Structure 1
Amino acid sequence: MRAARLLSLVLLLQNRGRLTAGELAEELGVSVRTVYRDIDALSGAGIPVYGDAGHGGGYQLLGGYRTRLTGLHAEEAESLFLAGLPGAAADLGLGEVLAAAQLKLTAALPPPLRDRAGRIRERFHLDALGWYREQDSPSALAALADAVWNQRRIHVRYRRWAEPQEVERALDPYGLVLKAGVWYLVAAVDGAVRTYRVSSILRLDVGEDGFERPDGFDLAAHWQDYLTTYDARRLRLQASVRIAPALLSALPDRLDAALVRAVEASAGPPDAEGWVTATVPLESVDLAVPTLLSLGADIEVLAPEELRRGIAEAAGAVFDRYRSSDGSGRAEAGVLSSSPADRVASSATAARAPKP
């Protein structure tokens, strides 16, 4: 284990240049004290690593030293053949490049590792796309990837939800992210980093002007921060609901993960009928109504009143649509003597009433 860590430390310095003890500790998942001991061990073994003290100091390899201990062991070689996403590479215009790289890597492996890599491809396949979805392959993606790679400023016409729906933007493209089959662009506009869905770009013009990518910008870390705050920005309506036992066990298949986590965190003890009361965050009344209606009679909204009223009105409209068997719109006597909201509330009360 220590030998592998020492090699990783040398390769980090070889690939990145100067790094502080803290940065090395974070990368290697060890303490700073362990890094100090490893540096001493490397120096004692003749590896020309030296450190500078003070602000801006750190460790680096002397005189462009490079190790040749870069061979892959069996698990590393196998993992490389699990890491590729051919569809994504093809979208970026790198399909042939990826295939060629895999061929070269396979040819460079010794026969035992080559056979093991082949077995990996035969037995494991990665399909990152969600169910019932097709791969998002925007026509502008390859040109956009080229602009990201060459740090070229772009001008886009973009379709969004807010008014005005179509806007023009000058962007500094920092990176592309593939999330559940959908491509997103992370770019700076007027100094602020924003996220754009690539398929919503209506027009793309790649300029000749370059831009300076911020030192230390970490695309993966930025994306993780974006995901962490996404639900907080999106789910601003708090609703109190009662959930039937049958629906409670099926929630992971019916709602997105953020809502399921909210139910699990806030659900109280079951009542006499086995129903639980929980608080769920929702985007808005307009978007929450169809979501909650899709769950049928196994969920009841207790608050806010605006959401209860919206569900009652929508359910009443559905009832009115199907109220007669012949499609003529005639209702049974007395059925429509009250408002849709009153009818839904009455039906819900009757359904919960004890049986004789």
Structure 2
Amino acid sequence: MRADRLVSLVLLLRRRGRMTAAALASELEVSVRTVLRDIEALSTAGVPVYADRGRHGGFTLLPGFHTELTGLNHEEALALVTAVSGGSQKVFGLSSALASAMRKVIDALPEGHRVAMDDAAERFLVEPGADLLSRRSPSEDIATSVMSQVRHAVLTGHRLRFEYSAPDQAPRVHTVDPLGLVTVRGRTYLLASKSGEDRTYRVSRMVDAEALPEPAERSASIDLERSWIERSARFLSADHLAVVVRVAPWRQEELLDMARAVRAEEPEADGWVRLDVTFEDLRHAVWAIWQLDTGAEVLAPDALRSALHGRATALAARYEDPRAGPP
């Protein structure tokens, strides 16, 4: 791990010139103290790293220590830079590894390619954090330790134990045989089997996870795309509550995050969106729609409209005679 970090440090200085210890620490995701130790190790090994003192000081590196990837053409290099400029660097918790890999690839390009890639990185932006209406893109909060254990279990073929917190349910512990990871619309899912039956889990709902020593019971290969399509079809045909709802655009992602599945989506003339979604049951639907306040309107089924009306009526009655405020 340290050797890889030392290479990344050298590549950062080669590409960016002078950098402070704090900037290097942030880029490498280590402490300033670790960076200073690494700088000392590089100097001892004969790598020409120099410290510039003063207000605008930092560390600099003389040119050198690289080989060229002469087989990588301009379009191939551009494809790599474009991919990294999007959301792919966050997928499966591999952001640090991808950033390190791209530093090595770009450093090894011929000089003319490096200049072109620097310009492309400034002029291409894929999937920014918000659209033109300032709506934030959906994002997941997955603990690094959880993602690391899930990824390890998937790749090494070991069983996985985790605590899972589904919406409006008490957390439960599951032990599964992991098959693969799928990311859709910014959400990451674990495809697994449990006691021989297919299971699918949102990784962001895992409270903790541990790859176990025993091997998983699974085939040596898998067609992950086909498996995902089959599971999606089964899920949509399952006995869940189908709901038709109008939702304000600024509440749409919140609704999609709480729904079990989306069957259809259609924009309406007033800017709202009409969605056909499914929920686990009536209780789950009432809980989810209630979170959206006046940003959503249920059109069907009538049972859900009645349940929401009853809750709203009870709440309105409680506050019908508001108490006098402070004098």
* Aligned positions of 1:241-252 closer than 5 A: 252=249
Distance 1:262 1:125, change over 3 A: closer
CA distance in 2, matches of 1:226, 1:140: 24
Map 1:162-173; keep pairs closer than 5 Å.
165-169=171-175, 171-173=176-178
Instruction: Decide whether the 8 Å contact of 2:163 with 2:171 is kept in 1.
Output: no
Match of residue 242 from structure 2: 237
Larger Rg, first or second structure (1 or 2) = 1
> Quick one: distance in 2 between partners of 1:263 and 1:87?
29
Report the AA paired with residue 89 of structure 2. P
Cα deviation, residue 119, structure 1:
1.8
SS of the equivalent of 1:207 reads: strand
Give deviations 1:224-272, integer Å, cap 9, x for gaps.
4444554554853356x8xxxxx7xx755544577693567xx9xx9xx
CA drift of 1:164 comes to 7.4
Range 284-293 or range 115-124, more displaced? 284-293
Deviations 1:308-355 (A, max 9, x none): 321321221232233235459xxxxxxxxxxxxxxxxxxxxxxxxxxx
Output one character per residue of 1:273-299: Cα deviation in whole Å (capped at 9) or x when no partner: x9xxx9945424334446289574995
Structure 1, unaligned runs of 5 or more: 1-69, 242-246, 329-356
Q: Aligned partners of 2:90 and 2:206: how far apart in 1?
A: 20
SS in 2 for 1:174: strand
CA drift of 1:217 comes to 0.9
**Residues 242 and 277 in structure 2, CA contact (< 8 A), matched pair in contact too:** yes
- Structure with the greater relative contact order (CA < 8 A, sep ≥ 6): 1 or 2? 2
Q: TM-score, normalised by structure 1?
A: 0.51
Are 1:155 and 2:161 matched, yes or no? yes
Go from structure 1 to structure 2 and tell me whether the alpha carbon gap of 1:304 and 1:128 turns closer, same or farther (over 3 Å shift): same
Cross-structure match for 2:213: 208
Q: Which of 192, 197, 222 matches 1:217?
A: 222
SS at structure 2 position matched to 1:323: coil
Determine if the alignment matches structure 1 residue 142 to structure 2 residue 145: no
Seq. identity, %: 26
The alpha-carbon deviation at position 152 of structure 1 amounts to 2.0
Q: What is the aligned partner in structure 1 of residue 89 from structure 2?
A: 86
The secondary structure found in structure 1 opposite 2:83 is coil
Q: After TM superposition, give the deviation of residue 145 of structure 1 in Å.
A: 1.6
Which residues of structure 2 form unaligned runs of 5+?
1-69, 131-135
Q: Tell me, yes or no, if the aligned pair for 2:248 and 2:296 is still in contact at 8 Å.
A: no
Match of 1:261 in 2: 264
Aligned residue pair count: 236
Distance 1:228 1:203, change over 3 A: same
| In structure 1, C-alpha distance between the alignment counterparts of 2:122 and 2:295, rounded to whole Å | 46
Partner of 1:120: 120
Residue 104 of structure 1: CA displacement? 2.5
